[in-house]
Structure 1
């Protein structure tokens, strides 16, 4: 297989409030980078879903903002469907009740706001002002800067996947954040290795033209990154002692 990228690149899967795992994984990524001894800054892409479900969403955002200042890395942060829901709640576009059922209640608690006991739209809407006041402006700005996709060489980084047969510039935001079966089960002829999260298993897994790094951190206790070095792809796992190679292939 030809090189996927001409620059050492890392990607980090869905974190979901597991600040403990993120701290461990970032140490492993830094050590892996030193071992590879690249020249210049190294690209690292975070695939979204930093918040919800796990207990320490606020701390995760603090860690990511701090990591962005590391001069050894060019950090890029993708928007996940969970961050999109948090912004919708803050801006009043949703009541928050549906978000709560997908882990938004744990995010409120991480910011020191107790979720309403009553499961109603009215109760969640009434809690919005307290949550707005609890979210630091730097966290709001971080979420608003998150991107929908990043391209490097033959690598396409998105949160959930892409709509097969649709050009990247014409992809719908909802597909990039939410798509599952239409992407996972499709036979594609585009030139990308799509690196994504959103659909978890207990370990990262590859399919034709794609690599999923969502290892279900909040339930499995496993957080995964991938290192792309030329044509070589290796997984860096919080539950693993050393990086391990994973075979991948392009779609087209």
Structure 2
């Protein structure tokens, strides 16, 4: 179901003291931009427990972008594995779900400039003691990890943690990121790789049920995606740069990574 999103709908009033662009950014004259998301990657975008509202860092950021470039945002939902093909084929104007900027993906879609840099971490159950890093995980053939196919965590798991075999049965493939976390919590798998953004959100909400271990496995830049050749990229990049310069991005980071607690 399509939902027109307004600034007030996502409680963005906390950032209202930050000045808007004041006319020096592109003006889309109210143009509708249909954005597709998975709503499964807290705190970037997710369905809030208890309220059922779709909220998160990306929702707030896009609401602010829309205000600055005079666009009307409409949201639709889709699974991760269908998102890039759907945006590539022009079914949607833009996709957001913590998408890592990668050269192979640039062959199919255009990316905005990065709006966030995160680091890949190892998330395990809170009582995990059998392994403490990627090397000790790889050394124990009884241990399993879960990942969504085609995602950065999948490829990092294959090439940086395991043996480079994309068909390795130790990687259990699942349709959503939420399903991988649930499998971890129930003991069906032993490891989930995720960027630090989502990982810290899940750990903070787990009441000790989850933790982060080992060293970080590298960094990744997140961007919004668009059909190849989209004229929206320039406007989005201008707004992202403006929001970085005036402190809005920093304020969003504080709101969602320091102040907000998932589920409470």
TM-score if structure 2 supplies the norm length? 0.24
Larger strand proportion, structure 1 or 2?
Answer: 2
Which structure has the higher relative contact order (CA within 8 Å, separation 6+)? 2
